Amino acid sequence: MGRLLSHRLAVPLVIALLVVALSFAMPSNFYYRVAALVWISALAVIGLNLLMGYAGQVSLGHAGFFGIGAYAVAVLPAQFGLHPLVAALLGAFATAALAFLVGRPILRLKGHYLAVATLGFGILIAMTISNEAWLTGGPDGMPVERLTLFGWRVRGADTWYWITGGLLVIGAWIACNLVASPTGRALRALHDSEVAARVAGIDVARAKLTVFVISAVYASVAGSTLALLNGFVTPDKANFLHSIELVTMVVLGGMGSVLGSLAGAAILVVLPQVLTGFHDYEHMILGLIMMVIMIVLRAGIVPSLAALFKGRWKK
């Protein structure tokens, strides 16, 4: 019990320290911005990791939820004059409701079938966003009203660094608590053996649906935050490639690891920035690095390194 309690706090604390420590090492606004992008991606990846790493279910449509969150803060203030925070909240609710409705039939499927069904669902959302140009600006995207809190206009990369960093810490804390709760234990159980989980009294369908809805809300909140940070939204954040990117971050960083989610997001956001100097070879090198990581650290970055260090200490 003691170990679990400490784990619940340790991971969010480590992330909080990281956010604070990194802020001293930021040479320019550009770095603040990249870091904020990492925090936002990590938030979405933590959510997806709850679904993939703990419950063992895949989703290739999470960018769809991300897109709903992003477009909620773009469309609702523009059309109805709502405050962006209210819009983000409504977006999260709408995402939860949609995930609940879609999740019920979809989560009966397993493995590849589930992958294809979520893929189709994600594409559907992306196409809706692209096609309803009167509302969403279509493929060109649309501007997002600047966030104003109590008369204070939120601006500047450093401000967003702290806001997104704070959101990430809260997201990590909620995730760690969920994992350590009986619900989290039930999720890990059904990942391992559904029959045994069912005869232990776990309502497997409900447990899967719960985590699906929670992970969708993570994506939605991350989408809203990104839209507010950028001041502009385009449909490509809702499309298939972004879903794949999120899944890649989960696997690369480590399934079933909250810190791994951050590591995976950091690598896939930061590396392309670092590699721009290689021009034409950028994507080749990125792909190569990803392959090497997966071959050498096959359980993902954080779990593999953790196992390695544990082994060292025991010797």
Exactly one of 151, 201, 277, 311 binds another protein (CB under 8 A); that residue is 201
Instruction: Give the residue among 204, 158, 176 at the shortest CA–CA distance from 35.
Output: 158
Exactly one of 9, 200, 274, 291 binds another protein (CB under 8 A); that residue is 200
Please report, as residue ranges, which positions from 177 to 196 form the binding site for another protein (by CB under 8 A): 182, 185-186, 188-189, 192-193, 195-196
Min dist CB 266 to another protein, Å, is: 26
| Residue 203 in the binding site for another protein (CB under 8 A) | yes
83/188 with CB nearer another protein = 188
Longest dimension (CA), the chain: 65
Please report, as residue ranges, which positions from 143 to 182 form the binding site for another protein (by CB under 8 A): 182
Interface region with another protein, contact rule CB under 8 A, candidates 28-36, 109-117, 200-208, 266-274: 200-208
140/192 with CB nearer another protein = 192
279/310 with CB nearer another protein = 310
In the chain the beta strands, taken as DSSP E runs, fall at: 142-143, 148-149, 152-153, 232-233
Count of residues that bind another protein according to CB under 8 A: 17
Exactly one of 202, 251, 266, 293 binds another protein (CB under 8 A); that residue is 202
205/275 with CB nearer another protein = 205
Q: How far apart are CA 170 and CA 76, in angstroms?
A: 25
Burial call 23-45: b when 16+ CB within 10 Å, e when fewer: eeebeeeebbbbbbbbbbbbbbb
Contact yes or no for 217/91 (Cβ under 8 A): no
Min dist CB 53 to another protein, Å, is: 12
Contact yes or no for 228/144 (Cβ under 8 A): yes
How many DSSP H helices and E strands does the chain contain? 14, 4
Min dist CB 132 to another protein, Å, is: 40
Q: How far apart are CA 268 and CA 147, in angstroms?
A: 27
200/291 with CB nearer another protein = 200
Which 3 state secondary structure label does DSSP give 154? coil
92/202 with CB nearer another protein = 202
| Residue 198 in the binding site for another protein (CB under 8 A) | yes
End-to-end CA distance of the chain: 26
3/279 with CB nearer another protein = 3
Q: How far apart are CA 208 and CA 227, in angstroms?
A: 29
Min dist CB 174 to another protein, Å, is: 20
Between CA 123 and CA 95, with CA 103 as vertex, the angle to 5 degrees is 65
131/181 with CB nearer another protein = 181
Min dist CB 14 to another protein, Å, is: 22
Interface region with another protein, contact rule CB under 8 A, candidates 124-132, 152-160, 198-206, 288-296: 198-206
Which 3 state secondary structure label does DSSP give 55? coil
C-alpha distances in Å from residue 206, one per residue of 3, 46, 107, 201, 221: 28, 20, 10, 12, 23
Which DSSP category does 146 fall into? P
Min dist CB 204 to another protein, Å, is: 8
Exactly one of 99, 197, 213, 259 binds another protein (CB under 8 A); that residue is 197
Residues near another protein, by CB under 8 A: 3, 182, 185-186, 188-189, 192-193, 195-203
